[in-house]
Amino acid sequence: MRLDRFLANAGLGTRTEVKAMIRKGQVKLDGEVCREPQTRLDEKQRSAVSLNDIPVRLKSRIHIMLHKPTSVITAMDDPRQPTIAELIPDRYQAARLFPVGRLDLDTTGLLLLTNDGTLGHRLTSPRWQVGKTYRITFAGPPFMSADIEHFQKGIRLADGTICRPAELEIQGENQVLLTIHEGKFHQVKRMILATGREVKTLHRQSIGPLVLDHQLPPGACRELTAGEADQLYDWVRLDRP
Ligand code: URA
């Protein structure tokens, strides 16, 4: 791998930024300043790179919070439609990220990408009961307190499927928060439909302890902080690698 790519993959900046650091002499290889961004590193040399005399380590696990906008599909590759991959900076290309669960084309909000398969599996598996909270606006009659109980008991979908208990919080005439603990196909839209209403907008606010950062506009993303990642791993009883 090239030195500049290695540094960018380690999250130290964009390719342009790390090239500038290299040219300025901030980067050492085996204790010697190296000013050539294109220098090729073999496996062994990767543990001998330092930036400002601090050893650089490639993070093995990367977790990204994305504010998914409408009009991109939850896939890393598609021949026809724009995908979430186009919103992820190039420096993460080698990280083999995948989305944890999916949001529909017209759904906005929190999408987590990771390269930790066990974490991704636990966050989506109904066995681990990780709540996902959605803000919903809908057309139809306002929800009443009796509906809260209805959702708590388990909504029956049009095809007869009974959903697990879900928490409904009424926020206004046409707005609710709904927390579900599983991820069936179009689940929220089908649950709302089963009550005789129609989802107009759907926005995911949180996954377990992870809340979408209000500072992130639609289409923007950032790495999780160490604290956020710790909380997620704790939530599904995993040791953070
Ligand atoms: N449920 C839905 O119906 N759509 C989504 O995008 C997410 C949950």
The pTM assigned to this predicted structure is 0.81
Establish whether residue 108 lines the binding site of ligand 1, counting it when its CB lies within 6 angstroms of any ligand atom. no
pLDDT at 56: 86
pLDDT of 48 above 80: yes
* pLDDT tens digits for range 192-228: 999 999 999 999 999 999 999 999 999 999 999 999 9
> Which pLDDT does position 101 carry in this prediction?
95
Distance 104 CA to ligand 1 centre (A): 6
Type of residue at 210: L
Q: Residue 170's pLDDT band (boundaries 50, 70, 90)?
A: very high
Ligand 1 mutation target, pool 189, 195, 207, most atoms within 8 A of CB: 189
Q: Is 189 in the pocket of ligand 1 (CB under 6 A)?
A: yes
> Given this model, what pLDDT does residue 133 score?
98
* Banded pLDDT at 47 (limits 50, 70, 90): confident
- Taken in order of first residue, the domains within the chain and their CATH numbers are 3-55 (3.10.290.10), 59-106+114-128+215-241 (3.30.70.580), 131-207 (3.30.70.1560)
Tokens linked to 8: 């960018």
Report whether residue 59 contacts ligand 1, using a CB cutoff of 6 Å. Answer: no
Please state at what angle helix 117-124 crosses helix 226-235, rounded to 10 degrees. Answer: 60
Q: How far is the CA of 187 from the centre of ligand 1 (A)?
A: 6
* Contacting residues for 87 by C-beta, under 8 A, at least 6 apart: 66, 68, 69, 72, 219, 220, 221
| 102, 164, 199, 202, best to mutate for ligand 1 pocket (most atoms within 8 Å of CB) | 202
The one catalytic residue in 78, 104, 147, 213 is 104
